Amino acid sequence: MGWNEQYWEVVFNFYWTPRYLGFKSIPRKKWSVDDQKISIPRELVPPTSERAYFREVKSNSLQHLLEKQEEILNHVFSLVFSIAGDQIVSKLLCEPLSISDGGPFERLQKNLRSRFRWPEDNVTQPDGLFLSKTSWIAVELKLGSSSWPEQIGKYISLALWEELYSGPREHIGLLFIVPEKSISTHWSKVGLQGATIPKGYLDQLSQDKLPKAIRALFASERARAESVASRLKLCVISWAEFHALIKTVEENLNPSDPGDQTLSRLLAGLRDQIASHKQTGMRSSFEQEFVKALARFNSTFAARDFSPGGWTPA
């Protein structure tokens, strides 16, 4: 069993034992039921509780439902890159941006509010953020939803906050990983003609779609914000391309080296989750084998003469 399958074991453990998440169940025998209403004694519900919950999805449908959600893939991605060494960050995240940096990398995510002294929670939350002495690398993961201009604006604000906090970086980059079908429209969706941010791009952003803290930052540090925007390297790759990059790293590992054995399992779990997760645009194992078989069939019979009298068994 791969470690990503163990992740699902944890999910199901929480599903069946919601008390581990702070939920308390009220057995059916304590309900009062009539034709129109279900009643629960007041003493069983704390006065601070604002809602009651019930299981809407059965256990055998839960994984199918969750495998369509970006959050699950975000969890797996975060776990892998919180464990994997700097060379993996360099190979899988920096190289697509044409940034050469071997680290060491600091992983930033949950501590951004205290780091930048935000007045409120969730000003913006990156899917991946990696910092070295010379580089600032952000990653945005996409499944069904599209990117939009203000999303790039939020990443520009993050890079600017970091430069104000710890100084400028030689390299700043933002990598999008999206389904194959989204590649062709990606730049137009974010208000660009390609992977370059033109002068005046910040003026095109809708102020209503930016948090108040970001609007204030851009107003007070306009020149620096424009500088960050002009230096930000952008790249978009598909989940299939990312999957192939992971496999390339795996193929160059030494199976007899204990460290490489661990890394191989770690990357295999990520690759497997990408392949099995809905909406990444990856074909299932069955579909991949079917396509290979069809290609073999076509190559075998393409040169045959099927005209009357022209065909003979191979």
pLDDT digits 0-9 by tens, 221-248:
999 999 999 999 999 999 999 999 999 9
Q: What are 164-204's pLDDT values in tens digits?
A: 999 999 999 999 999 999 999 999 999 999 999 999 999 99
| Residues 78, 70: Cα–Cα separation, whole Å | 12
Residues whose CB is less than 8 angstroms from the CB of residue 180 and which lie 6 or more positions away in sequence, other chains included: 238, 239, 240, 281
pTM: 0.82
**Domain range list for the chain:** 3-65, 70-243
Q: What confidence category does residue 26 fall into, taking pLDDT thresholds of 50, 70 and 90?
A: confident
| Residues 192, 292: Cα–Cα separation, whole Å | 37
What is the percent of the chain where pLDDT is above 70? 89
**CB-count exposure of residue 127 (10 Å: 0-12, 13-18, 19+):** buried
Q: Longest C-alpha distance within the chain, in Å?
A: 88
Highest mean pLDDT among 14-28, 34-48, 150-164, 300-314: 150-164
CB-based contact 131:88 (threshold 8 Å):
no
Helix (H) or strand (E) holding 132: none
pLDDT exceeds cutoff 60 at 306: no
- What average pLDDT does the segment 130-135 reach? 96
Give me the count of residues in the chain: 314
Q: What are 267-291's pLDDT values in tens digits?
A: 999 999 999 888 888 765 445 554 4
